[in-house]
Amino acid sequence: MEEARLPKVFTNGTLPATIAEQLATITTGYTPDSELELQEPSYYDYPVLKAPVWRWEIIWYFFFGGLAAGCYVIASITALFGSSEDRPVARAGYYLSLLSVLPCPILLIKDLGKPDRFLHMLRIFKVKSPMSMGTWGLLSFSLFSGVTAVIQAARDGILGRWWGSRLLAALPQRFLAIPGSALGVFLGGYTGVLLTATSIPLWSRSKVLGAIFISSAFSTSSALISLVLRLTRTPTQALHKLERLEWVALLVEMVGLFSFLRGTGRAARPLVGTGPTEHGRTFWSFVAGTGLILPWLLQTLTLLTGRSAKRRSGRGIVISLLVLMGGYFLRRTMIEAGHTSSADARTTLWNAKR
């Protein structure tokens, strides 16, 4: 009975469906029973909800927004609490934060139905609407990220040696770091809160999507900073600390994701299941498997065994790339599975029975 329902196909190099299906059942705590579900009433299975209008622009915005936020916060932590040898982390973090925040407004404006009306977002300040707050948050964060990066550039001598550059270099970067980091945490997490404050069962049932997104912002950002430091061969002892932070962030992300799946139960099927419209195979292969658990295990190995610097660097680059890929696929499968979730009338009606 149980086996007959499981599709037995191996497809395009991802996990076999049976393994993904078993993982889905274990993590969500829900075994799909198609016969029982078919007895639930609905109106000819027409969707109860409208499908989201958000597509690739939003996925990339979530990814870059997370990087911009995480890089700024990590750079600020090292600038405020780190030693002098941690300087390269702060420098790289502030530059990468500005670079990552630049595509964000373009992606968001392109996503609008009426891009020429993007300024209408600034008509009001609405605490109840995460999108309104997000607009203001992104705007103010960009300001902090920009100014901080310009001060950093002036201190690094990139802006030349004229009086304006000297004045900028003298500005107190540390004072900007505290409000800037608060805004960074907001930017990295509000996207998850925004998805939670909808009627889509997958996004709204558990309330931890914001926690997952902020931890993913931390993990992808530390991966990006260490990747850039390694590729530019910047000699620094701080890489070791960055690796530990990344390890912590990946752990928090795993705990968050597991509680998300548990808390969402049946409504998480579009994300983890293996049906034709479900995204389980991508999720288990690229988000949970090679994007989260594998780099975390590799990182654990690196932290436990003191290996030679050269081999360590090679492995570090692989870990960084895996974490960045996992962060992208997390957002992608989450948005795409939200489309599937909105189309499932029975689960939507089940979700509203509380």
Partner 1 sequence: MAIEATKRANMRRASLRSIVSLLIGSKEPPMASQAAMGFFTDTSICIGCKACEIACKQWNQLPASEPLWTGSSYDNTGQLSATTWRHVQFIERIERPDIPLLQPVPALMSGSQSTALPFFNSDRWLMQSDVCKHCANAPCLEACPTGSIIRTEFDTVYVQQDICNGCGYCVVACPFGVIARDQYGDRKAHKCTLCYDRLKDGFEPACAKACPTDSIQFGEVEQLKAHARERLGMLHERGVKEAQLYGVDDHILDGGLNSFFLLLDQPEVYNLPQNPQRPSNNVIPASLWTIVAAAVMGLLGIVIFKK
Residue from 90, 45, 31 nearest 229 by CA: 90
Nearer to partner 1, 23 or 211 (CB): 211
Distance between CA 29 and CA 26 in Å, rounded? 5
CB of 17 to partner 1, least distance (A): 26
CB of 325 to partner 1, least distance (A): 21
Nearer to partner 1, 44 or 162 (CB): 44
CB of 151 to partner 1, least distance (A): 20
Residue from 186, 192, 255, 244 nearest 219 by CA: 244
Q: What is the DSSP string of 210-231?
A: HHHHHHHHHHHHHHHHHHHHHH
Residue from 143, 170, 142 nearest 154 by CA: 170
Nearer to partner 1, 15 or 249 (CB): 249
Alpha helices in 126-266 (DSSP H): 130-155, 163-170, 173-196, 201-204, 209-231, 238-264
CB of 163 to partner 1, least distance (A): 34
Nearer to partner 1, 303 or 321 (CB): 303
Tokens at residue 246, please?
A: 């990344």
Nearer to partner 1, 87 or 312 (CB): 87
C-alpha torsion 11→13→16→19, nearest 10: -150
CB of 32 to partner 1, least distance (A): 19
